[in-house]
Structure 1
Amino acid sequence: MRKTIFFAGIDPSIAYEVWPFLLHLYPFDSTFEQREQIRHNKYLHYQKIRARREAPINDPEQLQFFHDVEAIIEKDVVRTDRSHPYFKGDDNPNLRIMKEILMNYAAYCPTMGYNQGMSDLLAPILTIIQNESDAFWCFVGLMNRTIFISTPTDDVMEKQLRYLRKLLLLMLPSFYEHCVKLSDGLDLLFAHRWILLYFKREFPER
């Protein structure tokens, strides 16, 4: 199913129904009743995450953690996809929802917290799903498969760069040779954002 969708795409009118399957909110073999139960359980779980985050914090380190995370998220949210109708306007409530999801994700996965670029990955999910709890869990499903969630020892970025080097050698040998001549050319620093954000900023939405 994933392979078919990858090559053929999906009709935009049913994206909000299909993405939760692709992003691991629902199993592909689940029934309608099972999916409704999953949604309900995930909603309750999400409310517990929010309540835990909003509860008084006595630990100074944890308090500083959320203070720092919130400062970064607030800066990123107001710069993310603001030309998109879903996020236009200074008083747009969807900006608050994006911030809430990112803050709750930091509480849900404190080892990851928040890194710049995560708002770029959340934005298209939120515009399609348009439900805070469902969008959060779809975002969790996506993040579990991204380089953000890997550790330095996982070497995921370097693995992707190795694939890219092989493609360059095969498809653009002259450019590959040019990179070889540069001291750090084969580090392909220009491609790190492509890989990290799945080309989110390189290809416009249709």
Structure 2
Amino acid sequence: MWGAPAEPADSYYEVRPECTDVPETKFKIRPGKTLSVRKWQAAFAPDGQLDIGKTLGRIHRGVRIRPTIRGEVWEFLLGCFDPQSTYEEREQLLQERRSAYEKWKSVCHEIFPVVGSGQFITAPVITEDGQPIQEPLVDQEVSAGTTTTSTDMVNDLLSKGPLNERIINWLLQLHQICLDVKRTDRTLVFYEKQENLAELWDILVVYAWIDRDGKKVTGMSDLASPMIILLENEANAFWCFERMMCRLRGNLRCTESSVGVESQLSHLAMVTQVIDPKLHQHLETLGGGDYLFAVRMLMVLFRREFSFFDSLYLWQMMWALEYDPDLFYLYEEPSSSMNESKMRSRSMCDYMKIKSDEAPLPISVFLVASVLKEKSTQLLHEA
């Protein structure tokens, strides 16, 4: 019980010393209460098949996953790999995925050479009718160390012929993605390095290229950031993020008349009405019965409400509880020759849409309800 002294969980995700107002972690890592490297490796058979049930059971019991293996564990929790696959099969699939990612990234680089250069764009480079913006107001990251500007790049692209709608829409998103990137997890020492910011930008712009919806959504950088930190290989981080987006893409879709988590908000209202009818009535009286205050919590899964470590802990707990062994089998695996539209049209995203009507409520809805229940007295007297 007394064991070794507790180790601050956030010590693995170093916060810049001048950032003193970040949320503090609620958890401590103690020996014997973690999924260690040794226990993780012992869960694999000699040929590489994973005893996923044992791993899920440990996460269900609230153990913390060591940061050095968290990325690998997440790849299984998110369905990137079939736990029944062998080491050889996963290595082959890994190479195919990396090849597919590099192919898409090369296409993006050919259109706009900043992609993959270790830099990123911070200002609009094109108008909505496909014309280059002359001398953008902020373009330091592109022009530093090179004589080629973003305007030159767009003019060079235009010299090859008129731009199609897909390219125009993609170019319009580049600086918008960067605005999010430059605000994401900036309290972490990790993002003091330009190359880490550029890697996050690259992953998001490549995803924007293959995403058939073709719309940048605020919040995606919050979801991609942990993948960059936990998975050293950029392509592996991309595919882990892509798999997560298949689960959450609907949450992030918002229009002038609706939000992507609208159905979850309705269910949150119903759950709260059952567990704390007095609080629900109070919120109704205040005009908060639509529960819109919970939109951000549900859209980016509490990334901005909890510390970096605590949000990751919650993610893996929810993924373990919601684990579906069918996710791997119903996913169209990539290959180096695969057309991205085919990949997206037959991806797990479509499977999730089919499942949405019959799937149970996500754990996140109950988590928000439990927070409201815990703070009920305070809300009734102070709100």
**TM-score between the two structures when normalised by the length of structure 2:** 0.48
Instruction: Return 5+ residue gaps in structure 1 as ranges.
Output: none
Distance 1:151 1:202, change over 3 A: closer
CA contact (8 A) 2:200 2:228 kept: yes
Provide the residue aligned with 2:182 in structure 1: 78
Task: Choose which of 66, 87, 108 in structure 1 pairs with 2:170.
Answer: 66
Provide the residue aligned with 2:295 in structure 1: 192
- Give how far 1:173 is off: 2.8
* Counterpart check, 1:25 vs 2:128: no
Distance 1:6 1:114, change over 3 A: farther
CA contact (8 A) 1:106 1:112 kept: yes
Residue 203 of structure 1 aligns to a residue whose secondary structure is coil
Q: Which has the higher helix share?
A: 1
* Counterpart check, 1:11 vs 2:114: no
- Give how far 1:100 is off: 0.1
* Counterpart check, 1:130 vs 2:184: no
How many matched pairs? 201
Give the alignment's Cα RMSD to 1 decimal.
2.3
Distance 1:189 1:151, change over 3 A: closer
* Counterpart check, 1:119 vs 2:173: no
Cα shift readout 1:107-141 (whole Å, capped 9, x = no counterpart): 11141432110000001111111221000000010
Cα distance in structure 2, aligned partners of 1:115 and 1:3: 31
Cα shift readout 1:137-163 (whole Å, capped 9, x = no counterpart): 0001000001347698xx962331133
Residue 280 of structure 2 aligns to a residue whose secondary structure is helix
Cα shift readout 1:27-63 (whole Å, capped 9, x = no counterpart): 1111111111111000000011112222346425333
Task: Choose which of 94, 98, 112 in structure 1 pairs with 2:200.
Answer: 98
Provide the residue aligned with 1:165 in structure 2: 269
Cα distance in structure 2, aligned partners of 1:189 and 1:151: 13
Task: Choose which of 68, 81, 99 in structure 2 pairs with 1:44.
Answer: 99
Instruction: Return 5+ residue gaps in structure 2 as ranges.
Output: 1-52, 112-156, 310-383
CA contact (8 A) 1:107 1:113 kept: no
Cα shift readout 1:75-104 (whole Å, capped 9, x = no counterpart): 1111100111221x2x42110000000000
CA contact (8 A) 1:50 1:104 kept: yes
Distance 1:121 1:97, change over 3 A: same
CA contact (8 A) 1:193 1:199 kept: yes
Cα distance in structure 2, aligned partners of 1:103 and 1:180: 41
CA contact (8 A) 2:222 2:303 kept: yes
CA contact (8 A) 1:23 1:142 kept: yes
- Provide runs of 4+ in structure 1 moved above 4 Å: 148-152
**TM-score between the two structures when normalised by the length of structure 1:** 0.86
Distance 1:156 1:6, change over 3 A: farther
Percent identity between the two aligned chains: 31
